[in-house]
């Protein structure tokens, strides 16, 4: 695997520096999660203690991030958690994690592109016809009694196509565009924190956690929209439940590791990219959550129709008089955030497909590189068709929390894998070593498992159903075509013979 990664003529081009990788991480991390999940966690489980939920999620990510950094510096190849599991636990486990990562990257990109379409329409004041920005499974009747049914979500399809073409053009070009987007959205997040700080009301932070015995909340029709009786809906349990919700906001730092094969100096730059982006975003998240729940009371975010989906714009327009322009700027930041998330998600998924194809587990086309740009262009185009069909014709809420499950599952296996490789192959050079292994790796796995348990039952059922489909594909197609089962297809490099 290392020999193939080092083949500059046949492999991916190494064009990314540490700054590019940090920007890629921030580009993937700050998006829907920050602007939507913060309010959702505050209103559903954590209250103002959503800041503590960010801390818990960040600690779990930090443990996993240290393990990712060790692997990425030691095995600087595309494929992320899939490749690391392949090395440490074998092909079957690697396939399972590769299949789970589709939930994180492909499904995540589709869901975010649908949200991008919604916010673009908001920015234009709802001028895009309903039929052309919603799936055929969505409809509504307006105030005049006219029924509208969706045909296709065209804006979601367009943004996916533009980003796919950018990714085919090259990693350096994609990283440059991403860096510009990251600058815009981080600047607006900092602006909201700085201006919003003066509007914080201390009483909104008291009590800091949702008290036990808090009554359930119903809408006008009597339907329960928030129930605080569960162990993970109030107090410290609510903080953990909130961590499972806001964890979605941290998804993306692992996508940096998918670009390892395109880093100029992966042994040095990968740990900087992974851990640097995680630190920057964690600080911004805690400050953002503190300001949002201080400006508006957490109870404002219980009702999705009232404040949760557009929580920041709601808080600004309701409690920050004279700053209407900031609400518009936040919408622009959200669009920018969504764009960079889609870019990094599609890039990450195409690199995982590229590596899985090289291992013989999926068709060879996914591993073909463009003769000029040296990017996996066929994987990008196939991915566009798959993700585009989902984005254009399926409602966004279908994805639910499946993206979080796929990521958490990957984190668990990477954390375990670092410890396993330390035991099995202690002599391998490790340019970056995660500290206090096995303590760090064990805590990383346990915290991520706890957050998986914190997900709702329907999400877990759907996730395990998806994994069952993956096993059918593996035993029905991939296993017999694997290069491990067909050693004659593996072509050793001259350097391999020289070493032995």
The model's pLDDT over 113-155, given as tens digits with 9 standing for 90+, comes to 988 888 888 788 888 888 888 888 777 777 777 788 888 999 9
How far apart are alpha carbons 382 and 372 in whole angstroms? 19
Highest mean pLDDT among 6-20, 348-362, 399-413: 348-362
Per-residue pLDDT at 498 exceeds 70: no
Q: Predicted confidence band at 375 (pLDDT cuts at 50, 70, 90)?
A: confident
Asked whether the beta carbons of 78 and 441 are under 8 A apart, the reply is no
Mapped onto helix, strand or coil, the DSSP state of residue 409 is: helix
Asked whether the beta carbons of 263 and 76 are under 8 A apart, the reply is yes
Q: Residue 112's pLDDT is what?
A: 85
What distance lies between CA 58 and its chain's CA centroid? Answer: 14
Backbone φ and ψ of 16, nearest 5° = -105, 135
Per-residue pLDDT at 218 exceeds 90: no
Q: What is the mean pLDDT of the chain?
A: 84
Backbone φ and ψ of 263, nearest 5° = -85, 140
CA distances in angstroms from 298 to 6, 108, 304, 408, 483, listed in the order given: 52, 27, 12, 27, 54
Per-residue pLDDT at 348 exceeds 70: yes
Q: Predicted confidence band at 492 (pLDDT cuts at 50, 70, 90)?
A: very low
**Structure confidence by residue, pLDDT tens digits, 70-88:** 888 888 777 778 888 888 8
Q: Predicted confidence band at 471 (pLDDT cuts at 50, 70, 90)?
A: very high
How far apart are alpha carbons 156 and 79 in whole angstroms? 26
Closest CA to 199 of 310, 309, 317: 317
Which residues on neighbouring strands pair with residue 139, listed in sequence order?
149
Domain 2-202+251-490: state its class.
mainly alpha
Classify strands 139-141 and 147-149 as parallel, antiparallel or unpaired.
Answer: antiparallel
Per-residue pLDDT at 4 exceeds 80: no
How far apart are alpha carbons 2 and 55 in whole angstroms? 36
Residue 239 has a CB neighbour count (10 Å cut-off) of 25
Q: Residue 57's pLDDT is what?
A: 87
Closest CA to 300 of 315, 285, 278, 282: 315
Q: Residue 497's pLDDT is what?
A: 33
Evaluate if pTM is beyond 0.75: yes
Taking the alpha carbons of 464, 466, 467, 473 in that order, is the dihedral positive or negative? positive
CA distances in angstroms from 145 to 112, 127, 140, 141, 148, listed in the order given: 31, 19, 9, 6, 10
Per-residue pLDDT at 458 exceeds 90: no
Q: Predicted confidence band at 401 (pLDDT cuts at 50, 70, 90)?
A: low
């Amino acid at each position: 695997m290392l020999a193939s990664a080092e083949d500059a003529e046949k492999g991916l081009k190494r064009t990314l520096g540490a700054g590019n990788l940090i920007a890629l991480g921030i580009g993937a991390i700050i998006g829907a999660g920050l602007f939507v999940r913060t309010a959702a966690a505050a209103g559903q489980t954590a209250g103002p203690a959503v800041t503590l939920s960010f801390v818990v999620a960040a600690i779990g990510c930090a443990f996993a991030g240290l393990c990712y950094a060790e692997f990425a510096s030691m095995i600087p190849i595309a494929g992320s958690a899939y490749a690391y599991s392949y090395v440490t636990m074998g092909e079957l486990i690697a396939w399972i994690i590769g299949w789970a990562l589709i939930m994180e990257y492909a499904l995540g990109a589709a869901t975010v592109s649908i949200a991008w379409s919604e916010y673009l329409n908001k920015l234009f004041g709802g001028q895009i016809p309903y039929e052309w920005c919603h799936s055929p499974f969505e409809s509504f009747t307006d105030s005049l009694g006219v029924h509208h049914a969706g045909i296709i979500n065209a804006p979601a399809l367009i943004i996916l196509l533009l980003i796919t073409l950018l990714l085919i053009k090259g990693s350096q070009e994609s990283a440059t565009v991403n860096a510009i987007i990251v600058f815009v959205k981080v600047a607006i997040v900092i602006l909201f924190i700085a201006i919003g700080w003066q509007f914080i009301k201390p009483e909104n932070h008291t009590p800091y956690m949702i008290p036990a015995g808090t009554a359930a909340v119903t809408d006008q029709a009597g339907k329960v929209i928030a129930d605080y009786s569960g162990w993970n809906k109030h107090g410290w349990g609510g903080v953990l439940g909130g961590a499972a919700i806001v964890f979605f906001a941290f998804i993306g730092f692992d996508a940096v590791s998918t670009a390892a094969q395109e880093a100029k100096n992966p042994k040095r730059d990968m740990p900087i990219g992974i851990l640097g982006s995680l630190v920057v975003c964690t600080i911004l998240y805690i400050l953002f959550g503190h300001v949002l729940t201080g400006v508006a009371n957490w109870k404002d975010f219980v009702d999705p129709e009232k404040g949760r989906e557009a929580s920041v714009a709601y808080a600004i327009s309701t409690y920050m008089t004279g700053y209407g322009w900031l609400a518009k700027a936040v919408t622009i930041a959200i669009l920018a955030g969504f764009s960079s998330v889609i870019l990094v998600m599609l890039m990450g998924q195409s690199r995982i497909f590229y590596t899985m194809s090289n291992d013989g587990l999926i068709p060879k086309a996914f591993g073909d590189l463009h003769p000029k740009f040296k990017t996996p262009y066929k994987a990008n185009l196939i991915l566009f068709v798959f993700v585009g069909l989902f984005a254009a014709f399926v409602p966004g809420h279908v994805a639910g929390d499946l993206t979080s499950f796929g990521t958490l599952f990957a984190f668990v296996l990477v954390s375990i894998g670092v410890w396993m490789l330390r035991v099995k192959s202690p002599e391998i050079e490790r340019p970056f070593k995660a500290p206090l292994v096995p303590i760090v790796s064990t805590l990383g796995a346990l915290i991520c498992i706890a957050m998986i348990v914190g997900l709702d039952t329907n999400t877990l059922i759907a996730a395990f159903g998806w994994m069952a489909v993956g096993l059918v594909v593996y035993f029905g197609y991939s296993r017999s075509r694997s290069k491990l089962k067909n050693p004659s297809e593996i072509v050793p490099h001259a350097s391999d013979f020289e070493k032995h």
